[in-house]
Structure 1
Amino acid sequence: MTALARVATPAGALLALSIAVAAPFVAPATAPFAAQDAQVDVHRFVTHTIAAEMTNGYQPIVVDLNADGRLDVIGLSTRLPDLVWFENPDWQRHVITTGLNRSINLAARDLDGDGIPELAIAHAFGTTHPNSLGILSLLTHQGDPTRPWRVRELDRTPTVHRLRWADIDGSGRPVLISAPLSGPAATAPDYRDDVPLYWYRPDDWTRRTLAETGQGVVHGLQVKPWDDPERDAVFSASFGGVQVHRYIDGEWIPELLVSGDPAPWPESGASDVDTGRLGERAFVTTIEPWHGPQVVVYREDNGGWTRQVIDTIGSGHTIVTADFDNDGRDEIVTGDRGDSEMLYLYASTDPSGANWSRQTLDDDMSPSACVVADLDADADTDLVCIGGRTANLKWYENVSP
């Protein structure tokens, strides 16, 4: 079982040190920390509230929306009628569009080179095909990005749930990756069906199938370079585990990276995924299982991956990595979007990633999603999170030494 140690940070938060073991972590999420002190560095952030009335806040998107060189923040809610953005630096609120029903995900990319991104958005969401239109639309500004944007429907794929732009061939020309949540025959609670992934080239918006290998619920979608720094790979997390999809010589090659939680279906697999580095070594980190409590790290080991549950939380819904302190080792950020409404940062306390510390960043954030970006242009990495239960949108200014 994972041992945990506790110290007080300068802000009064608690810091926990986890010690790796081979067996799965089975203690409840409320397990008390051990009493001994842990000698670890504390990552320092200043918390700024961007918006405090983001009912059912679901996704923050960080992008320059008015071509002024500053990164702005879009706040997407699954229930509010307005899709809004907040203008850096004073966070003035602007409405992009109103009336989109059950918006669930958005991806931003400047497709026409005018310095202002186009916004692909998934809306009319439902968890199964009978209750989901699954509309994919494109939002474009009409000269003034602070005024309402034009909405154009592109496609309908029921339960469309995640959108990401990806440079899959190193050409610099992005394609849109679209992941439905569940397959056509899926029904709760098992959702037993294969789930397709789709992709689109923005020159024709023709729907193409990337893979049909997702299983049950495909909840997590991540896009970033993997074994080729010049092109993006696509990572998907489902009841069947984490797959990495590479576009090689004109075709998609899927590979099962890790199987995730070994529990029986539908408690199996993974919910959210990101990758990071500990120096020269890669790692994979997940929330397991779907909306689950386990924070998991996979480390490379003799050609395979060693699974290590470093913590349990109430209900995880996002996981991101970044090197916040520039020590060459990425940290992990996740949190409980359930009852405790806590945001945590995990840091490796040794080069191998066998031991991890936990730091509480915020006790008023139930993170539906977080993203990393340099929001204040000071050459370090900041954090932006949106809360569902807490109905807030915040950015965390990195002031780590």
Structure 2
Amino acid sequence: MKPTPLLALLLAAVASAAPEPKFRLQEIDKIEIGYGLAIADVDGDGKPDIILADKTTVQWYQNPTWKKHVIAENLTKEDNVCVAARDIDGSGKCSIAIGAGWNPSDTVKSGAVFYLIPPADRTQKWEAVKLHHEPTTHRMQWVEVAKGRWDLVVQPLHGIGNKAGVGAGAKLIAYEKPANPKDEWKMHVVNDVSHMTHNLQPVRWSEGSGQQVLSGSKEGLWFNAPKDGGWTATQLTNVAVGEVRDGKLPNGQTFLATVEPMHGVASAAYTRDSSGAWQRNQVLDGFKEGHAVACADFLGTGS
């Protein structure tokens, strides 16, 4: 991963008469890298705050003034790379996890995963609890695998000992948080058969109380679902994918937006045909180092 200009691919199904979305630029801080970004309520005031995993620091910016609070520093000698933040206990305040030790060329020893324990005053330093990690820790999300139970799902970039994306599959792992976060966290393998796995997205497609996880890889898109205490992995497509997000069309149909391949040059939108198979519709190409995609109802059309 290299610091590159962010390419935001905004995919929306809108009527021809709908107005164009308008965005206002507001500079909040001067940062070093800022690989990991999350939006969540940190202090419980009902306002979404910004949480950032910068090069050597973890900080949150307090809404609405965006005052900066550094809550962790120098977790590893290498860069921080990702952050997950969500209210997982109904307290109105988010829990935060961090991925660090970023060195994608080291597929044997690199990487780190931390859970941060907050003090009473959340503007002060938080206590970092180091968890098991796979090499090349890269992305993470809190996922509600069952009603009220939120696991930390962590995606490495490569499998152990991989070279050029070849070798053992990358282990996508769900960490089950114990009552005392300093105790051992149970781990559940979500998917270990894919390679060059750049990102993931929690979704809620199936009936029941839990979420599922979409993940992108060299092999294509995967649908990973909890089942009988474990996980099942179903391959949806066969075109290499780096980034994935899901959205809704005006008719309520789900679509998937991607950047292809990892650090890619094209984006696509996938929709299901009458048989349920996912069909690829290329949206854009010709860019470099595609690194993120977002889906949202920017125009208020309901899709």
Q: Does the alignment reach a TM-score above 0.5? A: yes
Deviation string, structure 1 residues 199-225 (Cα, Å, up to 9, x no partner)? 11101412222221212x100111121
1:179 aligns with 2:163: no
Higher relative contact order (CA 8 A, sep 6+): 1
Task: Give the match for residue 234 of structure 1.
Answer: 213
Contact between 2:101 and 2:112, CA under 8 Å: does it hold in 1? yes
Task: Give the match for residue 301 of structure 1.
Answer: 273
**After the TM superposition, which residues 119-138 of structure 1 pair with which residues of structure 2 at under 5 Å, given as runs?**
119-130=96-107, 132-138=109-115
Contact between 1:129 and 1:184, CA under 8 Å: does it hold in 2? no
User: How many Å separate the matches in 2 of 1:148 and 1:277?
Assistant: 40
Contact between 2:199 and 2:243, CA under 8 Å: does it hold in 1? yes
User: How many Å separate the matches in 2 of 1:246 and 1:131?
Assistant: 28
Contact between 1:275 and 1:285, CA under 8 Å: does it hold in 2? yes
User: In 2 relative to 1, CA 130–314 (structure 1 residues): closer, same or farther, beyond 3 Å?
Assistant: closer
- Structure holding more strand per residue: 1
User: How many Å separate the matches in 2 of 1:246 and 1:111?
Assistant: 19
User: How many Å separate the matches in 2 of 1:229 and 1:297?
Assistant: 27
Amino acid at match of 2:161: A
1:89 aligns with 2:60: no
Task: Give the match for residue 4 of structure 2.
Answer: none
Contact between 1:136 and 1:155, CA under 8 Å: does it hold in 2? yes
1:289 aligns with 2:261: yes
User: In 2 relative to 1, CA 54–206 (structure 1 residues): closer, same or farther, beyond 3 Å?
Assistant: same
User: How many Å separate the matches in 2 of 1:128 and 1:194?
Assistant: 16
Shift in Å, 1:258: 1.2
User: How many Å separate the matches in 2 of 1:181 and 1:275?
Assistant: 21
User: In 2 relative to 1, CA 110–297 (structure 1 residues): closer, same or farther, beyond 3 Å?
Assistant: closer
User: How many Å separate the matches in 1 of 2:163 and 2:173?
Assistant: 21
Task: Give the match for residue 60 of structure 1.
Answer: 37
Deviation string, structure 1 residues 330-362 (Cα, Å, up to 9, x no partner)? xxxxxxxxxxxxxxxxxxxxxxxxxxxxxxxxx
1:271 aligns with 2:242: yes
User: How many Å separate the matches in 1 of 2:91 and 2:213?
Assistant: 27
**After the TM superposition, which residues 1-400 of structure 1 pair with which residues of structure 2 at under 5 Å, given as runs?**
41-77=18-54, 79=55, 81-101=56-76, 102-111=79-88, 114-130=91-107, 132-169=109-146, 171-188=147-164, 190-203=165-178, 204-215=184-195, 217-228=196-207, 230-260=209-239, 269-278=240-249, 279-303=251-275, 304-312=277-285, 313-329=287-303
Please give the secondary structure, in 1, of the residue aligned with 2:245: strand
User: How many Å separate the matches in 1 of 2:154 and 2:46?
Assistant: 28
Contact between 1:50 and 1:91, CA under 8 Å: does it hold in 2? no
Give 5+ residue unaligned stretches, structure 2. 1-9, 179-183
Deviation string, structure 1 residues 112-138 (Cα, Å, up to 9, x no partner)? 554432211111122144564321111
Shift in Å, 1:100: 2.4
User: In 2 relative to 1, CA 291–306 (structure 1 residues): closer, same or farther, beyond 3 Å?
Assistant: same
Shift in Å, 1:109: 3.1
Please give the secondary structure, in 2, of the residue aligned with 1:45: coil
Task: Give the match for residue 333 of structure 1.
Answer: none
Contact between 2:260 and 2:268, CA under 8 Å: does it hold in 1? yes
Shift in Å, 1:228: 3.0
Task: Give the match for residue 378 of structure 1.
Answer: none
Contact between 1:141 and 1:149, CA under 8 Å: does it hold in 2? yes
User: How many Å separate the matches in 2 of 1:296 and 1:111?
Assistant: 32
* TM-score normalized with structure 1 length: 0.65
Please give the secondary structure, in 2, of the residue aligned with 1:167: strand
Please give the secondary structure, in 1, of the residue aligned with 2:264: coil
User: What is the Cα-based RMSD across aligned positions, in Å?
Assistant: 2.4
User: What is the percentage of aligned positions where both structures have the same residue?
Assistant: 28
User: How many Å separate the matches in 2 of 1:228 and 1:222?
Assistant: 18
Which region of structure 1 is more displaced relative to structure 2, 100-109 or 140-149?
A: 100-109
* TM-score normalized with structure 2 length: 0.85
Contact between 2:107 and 2:158, CA under 8 Å: does it hold in 1? no
User: In 2 relative to 1, CA 277–114 (structure 1 residues): closer, same or farther, beyond 3 Å?
Assistant: closer
Shift in Å, 1:179: 1.1
User: How many Å separate the matches in 1 of 2:238 and 2:150?
Assistant: 29
Shift in Å, 1:49: 2.0
Shift in Å, 1:162: 1.1
Contact between 2:85 and 2:96, CA under 8 Å: does it hold in 1? yes
